[in-house]
Amino acid sequence: MDDICFPIQEHAMKYYQKPEEGLDIRGVTMAVEAAFAEHGRGNVQMPPKVYVTFPHGDFRTMPAYLPGLDIAGVKVVNVHPENPGIGLPTVMAVTVILDTGTGAPRAILNATALTDLRTGSAGAIAVKYLAPKKKVTVGLVGSGRQAIAQLNAISREVEVTGVRVWSRKEKSSNAFCAQFPDFECKVSSIEKACDSDVIVTTTPSTVPLVMNQWVSEGTHINAIGADAPGKEELDPAILERAAVFVDDPAQAVHSGEINVPFARGLFTREEIAGILGDVVLGKKKRTSPDQITVFDSTGLAIQDLAIASVAMKSGRYIELPFL
Amino acid sequence: MDDICFPIQEHAMKYYQKPEEGLDIRGVTMAVEAAFAEHGRGNVQMPPKVYVTFPHGDFRTMPAYLPGLDIAGVKVVNVHPENPGIGLPTVMAVTVILDTGTGAPRAILNATALTDLRTGSAGAIAVKYLAPKKKVTVGLVGSGRQAIAQLNAISREVEVTGVRVWSRKEKSSNAFCAQFPDFECKVSSIEKACDSDVIVTTTPSTVPLVMNQWVSEGTHINAIGADAPGKEELDPAILERAAVFVDDPAQAVHSGEINVPFARGLFTREEIAGILGDVVLGKKKRTSPDQITVFDSTGLAIQDLAIASVAMKSGRYIELPFL
């Protein structure tokens, strides 16, 4: 039977199903930070995401090439809000990796969980560089997969001394806290959650949830949830007070936290304080401990390539049998 | 051992390596024609190809959704002209298919040979609708993989009564004819090859090879080779005499046979006679038996989805284990 059994393939399939299992989160964040640094240096190729719409959702195609990390490829990711009703995730993703020398298809990775992790890493990088201190309390608005990934990654870059979580369903908040027994995790009101050094918003809201008067000076906010036109989580008055950093200006005005205020003329492209790539390089930073800083994350293809490079170093991929 | 053996996976891997083996070429052409018809009806989503450049080549990302064929996905394809020097194909491709209902990644196919076949089918469709008769002689300028795919597909749509082939290397032309023992295949001069009812050009030339004075009235030409800015195979004077049909106007002026004359102001977008989708629907056609017709093929993502749908009907794909 040996000749029709494929232990290597079985191994690959296992990792294809769960390439995220056992990944070192700090290692992922380091790779994602290296990708943002390359972005800040202008040393990446990353055309805008391409959208194709379905009756019940859409899919986005995200190609990129990172010469500095010697990796290139394409993530294909859907967004189907009705999927949970039939037991499927809203967002599913797959990444194809090409050989940078020959262009040959080299690998394919299940990128569904990797997408959460690389977004968590971007949030952690923003906190590391933009929060005014290295010991922080974290307030979470939203308690789903993205919230988990954010707290996991943030807590490896700074010391988290307390966590408050709010979500529409208290049951979800309780489940969230149960996953973080090492933190002082408390279910709270949204106002109380916002009384934290770092606020992380991860909801699919289309109306502002975080009110201006709840946000103290010196707070850093990761605005993660808004990823499509019409979505927003923050009172636009917060953006007026804050230094707003983005991953990519074009994507941010199109579909990030600033997209609604931008469309309404309440926020201009010139008001963007800088890109995370420049923050990582030290070219841009918070200008005082009292400043409010916001990181508006939309998700970049180079983050997907960075986490793919980490997963591939540990063999967590399917090798495409082309060569 | 049963639980660590994956006969289904082995089967899938075999087809992944060779999804083209045993595919019915007529069936492929029918599916590709259905895709062009949907294109003619305006019933497809197909954003422009996205290019990313490597030091030794590039890759193109081609997403699309064909509601009429209930298929959606992305082809990723490289072009590396130096690859043959290290024993690899210039062009390699992979297609990811998504479920149109849920957006879930569903399948992956090796699309290297499929790319040749779907291009052959487009050429065959052009000949079927645009050549002035159903029994034709075919002259081939270029004798590589694309030439083989063209003749294979064309000969299933019309009766081929003789073949003349020219290429830079006579050895290649001889090898080509050896593959088509059923036709009257003759190695010839390029001028003689052009004295045919149907001319098919499949070279990577950047200077015109087919001269205006060699082309008789009533000839149909498939211009297949030009697929990037700067490439051209036909004397621009031929385009002035001919009715020029394209697969996609934007792609054709960017990278098809008409791209060089277009860039030089010798050919305008208004001079395009129509798209193949309209030809298939009967909305556009040759206007007299003496007219010269040209089909300028650049390759559409919907062709890749059409052939993927045929390959998947016979199980020739890797199922992605998401659901």
Q: How far is B286 from chain A (nearest CA, A)?
A: 34
pLDDT for residue A14? 53
Amino acid identity of residue B127, one-letter, is V
CB atoms within 10 A of CB A180: 16
Q: Is the pLDDT of residue B13 over 80?
A: no
Q: How far is B301 from chain A (nearest CA, A)?
A: 13
Q: Is the pLDDT of residue B16 over 90?
A: no
pLDDT for residue B117? 97
Closest CA to A266 of A242, A245, A236, A291: A236
Chain A environment of B104 (Cβ under 8 Å): 78, 88, 92
For residues B187-197, average pLDDT: 98
Among chain A residues, the shortest Cα distance to B14 is held by A321
- Convert B208-234 to b/e letters by CB count within 10 Å (16 or more is b): bbbebebbeebbbbbbbbbbbeebbbb
In whole angstroms, how far apart are CA B44 and each of B36, B39, B109? 9, 6, 21
Average pLDDT of chain B, as a whole number:
93
Band (pLDDT 50/70/90 cuts) for residue B180 is very high
- Convert B60-89 to b/e letters by CB count within 10 Å (16 or more is b): bbbbbbbeebebbbbbbbbbbeebeeeebb
Q: Which one-letter DSSP state was computed for residue A292? A: -
Beta bridge partners of A162: A137
pLDDT for residue A6? 36
- In the predicted model, residues of chain A with pLDDT beneath 70 are 1-17, 321-323
Are the CB atoms for B247 and B222 separated by under 8 Å? no
Q: Is the pLDDT of residue B116 over 60?
A: yes
Q: Is the pLDDT of residue B7 over 60?
A: no
Task: Give residues with Cβ within 8 angstroms of B135, minimum separation 6.
Answer: B158, B159, B161
Quote ipTM for the complex. Answer: 0.91
| Selected residue with higher pLDDT from B316 and B15 | B316
Q: Is the pLDDT of residue B135 over 50?
A: yes
Window 56-75 of B, Cβ < 8 Å to A: 56-59, 61, 63-65, 72-74
For residues B33-43, average pLDDT: 98
pLDDT for residue A3? 31
Quick check: helix, strand or coil at residue B321? Answer: coil
Chain A environment of B15 (Cβ under 8 Å): none
pLDDT for residue B196? 98
Location of structure tokens 């149907």: B198
Considering only the beta carbons, identify the residue of A9, A108, A110 that sits closest to B6.
Answer: A9
Q: How far is B308 from chain A (nearest CA, A)?
A: 17
Location of structure tokens 């789903």: A144
Window 115-174 of B, Cβ < 8 Å to A: none
Q: Cβ contact (<8 Å) for B98 and A88?
A: no
Q: Cβ contact (<8 Å) for A47 and B52?
A: yes
Amino acid identity of residue B188, one-letter, is S
For residues B126-152, average pLDDT: 97
pLDDT for residue A319? 77
Chain A environment of B51 (Cβ under 8 Å): 47
Q: Dump the DSSP string for B168-218.
A: SSHHHHHHHHHT-TTS-EEE--HHHHTSSSEEEE----SS--B-GGGPPTT
Pick among B46, B59, B95 to test the A interface (most A CBs inside 10 A): B59
pLDDT for residue A316? 75
C-alpha angle B70/B284/B256, rounded to 5°? Answer: 75
Helix residue ranges per DSSP H, chain B: 7-17, 25-40, 112-130, 145-157, 170-178, 190-193, 236-241, 249-255, 259-263, 276-280, 301-313
Sheet with A50-54: list strands edge to edge: A50-54, A57-66, A71-79, A91-98, A105-110, A318-319
pLDDT for residue B4? 32
Q: How far is A234 from chain B (nearest CA, A)?
A: 29
How many Å separate Cα A71 from the centre of its chain?
19
Window 77-116 of A, Cβ < 8 Å to B: 78-80, 83, 86, 88, 92-94, 96, 98, 100-105, 108, 110, 112
For residues B233-241, average pLDDT: 97
Helix axes B145-157, B25-40, angle to 10 degrees: 80
Are the CB atoms for B309 and B71 separated by under 8 Å? yes
A49 assigned to active site: no
pLDDT for residue A13? 53
Are the CB atoms for B45 and B65 separated by under 8 Å? yes
Helix axes B301-313, B25-40, angle to 10 degrees: 140
With 0.80 as the threshold, say if the pTM is over it. yes
